[in-house]
Every structure is written in structure tokens, then in C-alpha cells.
């Protein structure tokens, strides 16, 4: 099997898969680490779409256990099973994404939260720091163990249903890229790598934050029983 991880560009990946298709044995499985491009479109560049699937490692891949195995429209069940099995043997925690939807599962969840966080910040409900704390000191901790659905089970589905009745209508449902984010990027504030985004970072701050992230992630993983060797 081959796992491709070149730049996130559909045409480039299609050209690469065409090369793989010509160069690899006919029974070889071809997987893409794309974060959200269509697996069906990538597989369409080959003559073996049944043997093509997504295999999305989450960043940083040496620490984060999640691997999303994504079926394109023509991916065979056996291909998906093989990638789930290989991920497990690598010590990962794979999930099967049964349908090739944009963003798969992980990024859909992540970006639903980001859209609401940007909306809260833009409308002045809370500061960036307080919005981050609302997640890191609250639901984020529970999600790390339980995920959103088991969290709802523990809270009581009747209670969660009552909340959806008044809250869903008020949540951000924008369909365009958020102007707040576009404006930051336009002003060169593309995040920690650029010295600033929602917060400011010196090169030293960035190094410290990354080290702290890895230290805390390893601590979480040890407690949860999924720490890498």
C-alpha cells in the first residue's frame, strides 16, 4: 500500500495517483492523507477506484491517535478494512467515514465549533481568551474522554433536546468564510507562525506553546491509556 501526503491540491493529487496507478502492482491499495478533498475525485484519476481510500492522520501525527479512514463512492469494504487494521497496528485509533463528505468527521466538528467561536468574538460576547477558556476549562475536557454524543447521554437527552429548542435558532449558520478571519489573514496575522493571529507570539512564545501542547497531550494520552511508546 501507498499513503500519499503531498500538498492539499486536488489536481496535484490526481496527477500523483495517476502515477501511482501506473507504477504500483494492480492489487496495491492507494491512500491519501488529504484533510478534506474528495476521495471519489482522487480515485477517479486511477483505474482502481475500489482500491483507493482516504487515510487522514491528525496533526501532530506522532501524538494524536485519530486516523480517519474514508470511503470514496467506489471504495471496496475490504480496502477500508485493511486501512483500519493497519492504523490499529500503528497504535492509532481509526474511525470509518462511510461517506466521502467534505471535511470528513473530525474537521466538520472542529469547524462547527470555530464558526461559533468567531461569531461570539465578532459580536463582542466574550474575549478570545475567555472563549478559549470556555472550551479548555469546560466542554473540551469532557470531550477528550467522552465525545459530544456520550456527553449528551450523560447530561440527559431530554435536557439536551430542551436546549436545542431555544439555542439552535440562535447559533451562527453563516455559509460564507468569516470576514473576521479573512481580515486577520489579509493583515498578515496568519497565526503563531506569522507572529500573531488572535493573540501575539514571539518566536520564543511559539516554541514554548508547542512544547507545552505536546507535554499536556502526552499527559492526557497517558491518563486515557493511548500514549505512544
Ligand X SMILES: NC(=O)c1ccc[n+]([C@@H]2O[C@H](COP(=O)([O-])OP(=O)(O)OC[C@H]3O[C@@H](n4cnc5c(N)ncnc54)[C@H](O)[C@@H]3O)[C@@H](O)[C@H]2O)c1
User: Where do contacts with ligand X occur on this chain (CB under 6 A)?
Assistant: 5-8, 12, 16, 33-35, 56-57, 59
Beta-bridged to residue 32, according to DSSP, are 4, 54
Active-site residue identified among 8, 33, 62, 68 = 68
Only one residue has cell 500500500, namely 1
**Shorter beta-carbon distance to ligand X: residue 33 or 151:** 33
Active-site residue identified among 4, 33, 35, 116 = 35
86, 100 in Cβ contact below 8 A? no
**Shorter beta-carbon distance to ligand X: residue 5 or 221:** 5
Residue of 33, 77, 73 lying closest to 56 (CA atoms): 33
Helix pair 128-136, 139-155: axis angle to 10 deg:
50
Q: Does residue 166 come out as left (phi exceeding 0), alpha (psi in the -120 to 50 range) or beta?
A: alpha
52, 42 in Cβ contact below 8 A? yes
**Shorter beta-carbon distance to ligand X: residue 7 or 158:** 7
**Shorter beta-carbon distance to ligand X: residue 113 or 126:** 113
The nearest distance, CB 161 to ligand X, in angstroms, is 34
The nearest distance, CB 166 to ligand X, in angstroms, is 36
26, 55 in Cβ contact below 8 A? no
94, 119 in Cβ contact below 8 A? no
The nearest distance, CB 173 to ligand X, in angstroms, is 26
In the residue annotation, 33 being an active-site residue is answered as: no
The nearest distance, CB 86 to ligand X, in angstroms, is 17
Cα gap 148→144, rounded to integer Å: 9
Active-site residue identified among 56, 62, 116, 229 = 56
In the residue annotation, 87 being an active-site residue is answered as: no
Active-site residue identified among 7, 62, 87, 107 = 107
**Shorter beta-carbon distance to ligand X: residue 12 or 171:** 12
Those residues with Cβ within 8 angstroms of residue 80's Cβ, 6 or more apart along the chain or in another chain: 53, 69, 71, 96
The nearest distance, CB 220 to ligand X, in angstroms, is 19
In the residue annotation, 35 being an active-site residue is answered as: yes
In the residue annotation, 68 being an active-site residue is answered as: yes
Active site members: 35, 56, 68, 107
Amino acid at each position: 500500500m501507498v499513503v500519499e501526503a503531498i500538498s492539499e491540491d486536488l489536481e496535484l493529487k490526481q496527477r500523483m495517483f495517476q502515477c501511482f496507478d501506473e507504477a504500483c502492482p494492480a492489487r496495491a491499495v492507494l491512500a491519501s492523507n488529504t484533510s478534506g478533498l474528495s476521495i471519489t475525485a482522487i480515485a477517479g484519476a486511477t483505474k482502481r477506484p475500489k482500491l483507493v481510500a482516504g487515510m487522514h492522520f491528525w496533526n501532530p501525527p506522532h501524538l494524536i491517535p485519530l486516523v480517519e479512514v474514508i470511503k470514496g463512492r467506489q471504495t471496496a469494504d475490504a480496502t477500508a478494512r485493511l486501512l483500519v487494521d493497519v492504523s490499529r497496528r500503528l497504535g492509532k485509533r481509526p474511525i470509518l467515514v462511510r461517506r466521502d463528505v467534505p471535511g470528513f468527521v473530525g474537521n466538520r466538528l472542529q469547524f462547527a465549533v470555530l464558526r461559533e467561536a468567531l461569531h461570539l468574538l465578532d459580536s463582542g460576547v466574550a474575549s478570545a481568551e475567555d472563549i478559549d477558556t470556555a472550551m479548555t476549562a469546560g466542554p473540551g475536557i469532557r470531550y477528550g474522554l467522552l465525545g459530544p454524543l456520550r456527553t449528551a447521554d450523560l447530561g440527559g437527552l431530554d435536557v439536551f433536546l430542551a436546549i436545542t429548542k431555544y439555542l439552535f435558532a440562535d447559533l451562527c449558520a453563516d455559509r460564507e468564510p468569516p470576514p473576521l478571519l479573512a481580515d486577520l489573514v489579509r493583515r498578515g496575522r496568519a497565526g503563531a507562525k506569522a507572529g500573531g493571529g488572535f493573540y501575539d507570539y514571539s518566536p520564543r512564545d511559539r516554541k514554548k506553546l508547542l512544547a507545552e501542547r505536546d507535554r499536556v497531550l502526552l499527559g492526557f494520552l497517558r491518563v486515557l491509556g493511548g500514549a505512544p511508546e
